[in-house]
Structure 1
Amino acid sequence: MNLRQMECFLAVVQDMHFRRAADRLHLSPASVSEAVSSLERSLGGRLFERTSRRVRLTPLGAEFAASIRQPIDDLHRAHGAARQQAVSHRDAVIAHTPELGHLILPRLVAAGSGDTVDAVGLLPAWRPIAMHTPGQLTAVADGEIDVGLCWSVPEQTGIDSVVLGEFPLVAVLRSSDPLASHAEVSLTQIRSRQILVTPRADNPYLDSQLQADVTRAGIPRAHIEEVARYDELVVHVATRGHVGIHPGPIALTSPLSSVVFRPIADASDRVRICAISHSRERSPSTISLIESLYMIVAALDLERALN
């Protein structure tokens, strides 16, 4: 028996649904199910009656939930208080996706030194750590990082998400491509082209939006190819002549004048740059950092880069 098993058990008690409990805990349904099963084995009795249609507590499960809920809450409060004390004596930790770190963190360094108009006063000491969006959600929930800087994320219990800015998806094209003369490009216009994207696992939430748009436009899955990193995508477009699809801020980091960027007119939604933090552990330093990040993203001049 361990704390994670009991947390999984209480999450299922709250939702009476294994998948919803797993989503709140940032775990797979199989992991939650195994944790509860292991707990049942250690107790020697069943905690839930499970069918294909419903989940409900057994008498043992109801009694056990009532007996552990307060001690578990007390443990979380003690952990939060100790963490707040520890945080006050260390640098804040900002996790970032590689691309957003490249784009935004140098500006945050300048803002902290007062060298730019983005400065909002003296910033707390902070240090960066590279981490993709799914890992950030878990690390924020576990208290391992103070701020996550990431792309679009779904709502998550216990996590605050501040939208720093919204940007279009763009088509990445050679400047000699016939579509480069258009102000906008539609997905249907590139339906027969080979399309390059960055790894889907880096942000499954953003990928699900893209996949829905691609399917609606009738683009075959065989036409979609992953390239290893965001900063390689423009090089692949320049050398191979394919079309890239990526969030618009890529235009602000591209070093190649032979590649242009055109908004995708029929994308279902804009892409968000978000700052995430723990909803119950937002320290003054966390709030200050998020305010600075908001000002920096608001000052990004994407329109100029797209023209």
Structure 2
Amino acid sequence: MNLRQMECFLAVADELHFRRAADRLHLAPPSVSEAVAGLERSLGSRLVERTSRRVRLTPFGAEFAAAIRPPIEALHQAHRAARLRSARHRDLVVAHTPELGQLILPGLVDAWPGAAADDEARGRWRPVPMHTPEQLAAVADGEVDVGLCWSVPEQPGIASTVLGSFPLVAVLQAADPLASRHEVALTDLRTRQILITPRADNPYLESQLQADIIRAGIPRTHIEEVGRYDELAVHVATRGHVGVHPGPIALTNSLPAVVFRRIADASDGVRICAISRAEARTGSIAALVASLRSIVGSLDVDAKLT
């Protein structure tokens, strides 16, 4: 018996669509399809009928879904309740993307050095590097208490707190003619080679950036990915290209030959968010999120854009 296979099957039973079920579980559609197929093999009978146009439960599948749903939901509820009860006696798990970990966690070390013996609202915490889709799944499963990530969409059962909103910026050589402006537009960059960091780890932020690039009429052949965010400014300084990145990069830059200018025609600001299970947003978790909000609120990106 495989619990993950049954979770995948129940998601398909609810959605009657493999891609939507995969999105709900933060998995790839082929993984969900294989999980359901494996469950069918172990049971010796078909659970779903799949065609190019529709997915529907077989009579056996509908009966099996009704039988397993209550105990699986009870198991998840018992797990969540146990984690909430144990929160006072264990380290809080704080997942973070690599970039936000470097930017924010030093401030959390100062603001949250450890729990005093008589302070029930605070507790020790430990960081775990994790990209945004994995954070969403781990928070939903109760493996992570707080996730620290870039912009995320609403998810059932997950509370998302916007800690701060920041502009998209152009990263320029100080001698670049565009550096003399207070703001630049993506449409000003149509003839330039543009450097970005990979955003496949956050499809929500990636889709926003790609929509802005397409709307500005920038050819895809002018876009080049630089492996890591902390390398982007170095590439700008040495190659004369233009970087496009969320504004907090300005706070980690140490190169005087590089400047940052707000992008005027970006569709929206980039949000830094803290995520947790909605019912867990109490006690030490609520206090930790409040500390993160204070830390992000103190980040003065605007001072680096002048």
Please state which band the TM-score falls in when normalised by the shorter chain: over 0.9
User: What residue in structure 2 maps to residue 91 of structure 1?
Assistant: 91
Alignment CA distance shift 1:301-1:122 (3 Å): farther
- Distance in 2 separating the partners of 1:54 and 1:280: 35
Unaligned ranges ≥5, structure 2: 115-119
Aligned pairs for 1:1-307 (under 5 A) are 1-112=1-112, 123-307=122-306
- Distance in 1 separating the partners of 2:77 and 2:270: 35
Q: Quote how far apart the aligned CAs of 1:126 are.
A: 1.1
Whichever residue aligns with residue 227 of structure 1, its letter is: V
- Distance in 1 separating the partners of 2:281 and 2:230: 33
- Kept in 2, the 8 Å contact 1:113–1:122? The answer is no
User: What residue in structure 2 maps to residue 118 of structure 1?
Assistant: none
Q: Quote how far apart the aligned CAs of 1:27 are.
A: 0.7
Moved more, 175-184 or 277-286: 277-286
Whichever residue aligns with residue 133 of structure 2, its letter is: P
CA displacement, residues 196-228 of structure 1 (integer Å, 9 cap, x when unaligned)? 111222322211111111112221222111112
CA displacement, residues 265-307 of structure 1 (integer Å, 9 cap, x when unaligned)? 1111110101011234335111111111112212221111111
Whichever residue aligns with residue 6 of structure 1, its letter is: M
3-state DSSP class of the match of 2:248?
helix
- Kept in 1, the 8 Å contact 2:97–2:131? The answer is yes
Moved more, 71-80 or 19-28: 71-80
- Kept in 1, the 8 Å contact 2:26–2:134? The answer is no
Q: Quote how far apart the aligned CAs of 1:122 are.
A: 7.1
- Kept in 1, the 8 Å contact 2:121–2:284? The answer is no
- Distance in 2 separating the partners of 1:6 and 1:112: 40
- Distance in 2 separating the partners of 1:105 and 1:167: 18
CA displacement, residues 122-150 of structure 1 (integer Å, 9 cap, x when unaligned)? 74211212222222222222222211111
- Kept in 1, the 8 Å contact 2:5–2:35? The answer is yes
- Kept in 2, the 8 Å contact 1:234–1:244? The answer is yes
Moved more, 32-41 or 178-187: 32-41
3-state DSSP class of the match of 1:127?
strand
- Kept in 1, the 8 Å contact 2:172–2:258? The answer is yes
Unaligned ranges ≥5, structure 1: 115-120
- Distance in 2 separating the partners of 1:74 and 1:176: 62
Q: Quote how far apart the aligned CAs of 1:159 are.
A: 2.0
Runs of 4+ in 1 over 4 A off after TM superposition: none
- Kept in 2, the 8 Å contact 1:168–1:271? The answer is yes
- Kept in 1, the 8 Å contact 2:121–2:283? The answer is no
Q: Quote how far apart the aligned CAs of 1:244 are.
A: 0.3
3-state DSSP class of the match of 1:128?
strand
Moved more, 28-37 or 75-84: 75-84
Moved more, 270-279 or 83-92: 83-92
CA displacement, residues 148-200 of structure 1 (integer Å, 9 cap, x when unaligned)? 11111122233221111111100000111000011111111111111111122
- Kept in 2, the 8 Å contact 1:213–1:268? The answer is yes
CA displacement, residues 87-140 of structure 1 (integer Å, 9 cap, x when unaligned)? 3321111111222112211112222359xxxxxx97421121222222222222
Query: Quick one: percent identity of the two aligned structures?
Result: 71
TM-score (norm 1): 0.92
